[in-house]
Homo-oligomer: A and B are copies of this chain.
Amino acid sequence: MKIQAPYLLFLGDASDNLSIKMAKGVADWRPQLCTGQFRLDGCSVTTGQPDMSIAQAKQAGAKTFVLGFANSGGTIDNQWIPFIVEALNNGFDIVSGLHDKLTDIPQIKQLADQLDLQLIDIRHPQQKFKTGTGEPRIGKRLITVGTDCSVGKMYTSLSLEKAMKQRGLAVDFRATGQCGILIAGNGVAIDCVVADFIAGASESLSPANDPAHWDIIEGQGSLFHPAFAGVSLGLLHGAQADAIVVCHAINRESMRGIKNRALPSIADTIALNVAAARVTNPQAQVVGITLNTSSVSESEALEICHTLTLELGLPCIDPIRHGVDAIIDKLCLEY
């Protein structure tokens, strides 16, 4: 599976920024992959990309029509089908990150087959994976892990990739979630893999590479999350990370989707992730902490990061407010 760029981002009638996270992610991180956005009446949010119709996007060279919105059930409503059909008739591949599969809709499947166009359900991996081997691979690897889900692991990973590229390092972002896959153009939705193959899929995601090359692997979930820790652990084992960055959102009262469950401490998160990572890479260590500090002022954010830096002996920054240079300095020094 290879997603053809550039993309037309279809936002439907979305009215909430969270629901267009996937479209916004790619527009923020890979604007060069986007031709524009296609919005319907009632849509009140934007990715910042220029508005255009399907026909205009085709004229402008777009190749893939991206369902850039999500709803809570992950369903493909019947109301979107005419737009998908129009996009296919204009020669677009279709990408969906919804739970429902494009390929399960007979009308769409038939038309795509007939026109020889791709239907890419990025939440449903089509590769065949092997079980993990634990065998070391050449190349350097960094993985982002979290105290919780949705604490900035993808954002941190992409920030690191960008800054490392700017320093001239050989580096690739390795995507493990739907938004990341759209940004990278490939990857594995690791939480959709059959359980037996989590670590094996993770191993295949960052294959052997040049000794100086870095893979920056997007983490998922949290070893402390009662629903998703199995995914996090298999991904961590398969990654064989040399370096770990711990991500955390401050002032969050409860773990995502779980009532009355406090987040683990950063220190506990470091300890458990290092212990687990060393099962497949005895040299694994944490090289930095990133915080989402959007709930506090600039000065409070600085103070929190400074205190944690001293307390943990590791660079602690908010990647949006402070950049990730402190972490990359440490990486360049120690690896």
Q: Which residues of A contact B (CB under 8 A)?
A: 131-134, 190-196, 198-200, 223-224, 226-235, 237-238, 257-258, 261, 272, 275-276, 279-280
Contact = CB atoms under 8 A, between A and B. Distances in A.
Nearest to A124: B194
A279 B225 CA distance: 8
22 contacts: A131-B228, A132-B226, A132-B228, A133-B226, A133-B258, A191-B195, A193-B194, A193-B195, A194-B194, A194-B195, A195-B198, A195-B230, A195-B234, A196-B231, A198-B231, A199-B228, A223-B233, A224-B279, A226-B237, A226-B280, A229-B279, A272-B275
Given A192-B194, A194-B193, A230 B228 contact: no
A198 B193 CA distance: 11
B227 A134 contact: yes
A134 B230 contact: no
A270 to B, nearest CB: 14
Interface of A is mostly: helix
A298 B331 CA distance: 54
A231 to B, nearest CB: 5
B234 A229 contact: yes
A108 B198 CA distance: 31
> Could you say how many copies of this chain the assembly holds?
2
A131 B132 CA distance: 24
A149 to B, nearest CB: 11
- Scoring A195, A237, A276 by chain B CB atoms within 10 A of each residue's CB, the highest score goes to A195
A192 B198 CA distance: 11
A156 B74 CA distance: 41
Nearest to A231: B195
A134 B134 CA distance: 30
Contacts of A230: 195, 198-199, 230-235, 237
Contacts of A224: 279
A222 to B, nearest CB: 10
A157 to B, nearest CB: 19
Given A134-B226, A224-B279, A230-B234, 8 more contacts: A134-B258, A190-B195, A193-B195, A194-B195, A195-B231, A199-B228, A229-B276, A230-B235
A194 B123 CA distance: 11
Contacts of A279: 224, 226, 229
A140 B231 CA distance: 26
B261 A229 contact: no
A227 to B, nearest CB: 4
Contacts of A198: 195, 230-231
Contacts of A258: 133-134
B229 A199 contact: yes
